[in-house]
């Protein structure tokens, strides 16, 4: 992507994010399709709901795009919800539930801070709403 070298803290958060991401990529199909298939749900439904969302950020993660790491957090919320729900309803699968929550937590924390630190290194900025509104107001006033 870029020739700007990553700082140690950035590399650390990327490793944490990848640990969580790859862990979920391995755990979810293994658990939900292999070790403990869901009764009453089709294989296609399980794949579509629990596996396909994990594949959406794959290209950006491979290409090392900080923005992809940032929006991947929206996807990881699915696994938090599933994990916390499963704490109550699937107590006989507690090991898998705890692994899911561990991987989701690592992915969330790693992606959040990797996107932040790498974005700073690359000079990327998310503009503040206040700045956007000021520009729109100025543009509108110039038309009058």
**Residue 40: per-residue pLDDT:** 72
pLDDT digits (tens, 9 = 90+) for 10-23: 889 999 999 999 99
Residues ≥6 apart with Cβ < 8 Å to 47:
29, 33
Average of per-residue pLDDT across 45-55:
86
Average of per-residue pLDDT across 133-142:
76
Q: Quick check: 125 pLDDT over 80?
A: no
Average of per-residue pLDDT across 115-124:
84
Is 115 within 8 Å of 16 (Cβ atoms)?
no
Q: Quick check: 128 pLDDT over 70?
A: no
Q: Quick check: 47 pLDDT over 90?
A: no
Alpha helices of 5-65 — where are they, by DSSP H?
A: 8-29, 43-46, 52-55, 58-62
Is 73 within 8 Å of 109 (Cβ atoms)?
no
**Residue 1: per-residue pLDDT:** 47
Q: Quick check: 2 pLDDT over 60?
A: no
Is 13 within 8 Å of 114 (Cβ atoms)?
yes
């Amino acid at each position: 992507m870029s020739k700007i070298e990553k700082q140690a803290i950035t590399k650390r958060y990327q490793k944490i994010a990848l640990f969580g991401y790859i862990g979920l990529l391995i755990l979810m199909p293994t658990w939900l399709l292999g070790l403990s298939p869901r009764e009453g749900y089709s294989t296609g439904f399980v794949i579509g709901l629990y596996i396909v969302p994990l594949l959406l950020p794959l290209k950006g993660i491979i290409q090392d795009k900080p923005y992809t790491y940032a929006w991947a957090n929206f996807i990881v919320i699915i696994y938090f919800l599933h994990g916390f729900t499963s704490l109550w309803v699937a107590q006989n699968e507690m090991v898998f539930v705890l692994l899911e929550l561990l991987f989701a937590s690592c992915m969330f924390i790693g992606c959040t801070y990797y996107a932040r630190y790498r974005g700073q290194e690359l000079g990327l900025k998310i503009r503040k709403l206040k700045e956007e509104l000021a520009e729109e107001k100025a543009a509108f006033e110039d038309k009058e």
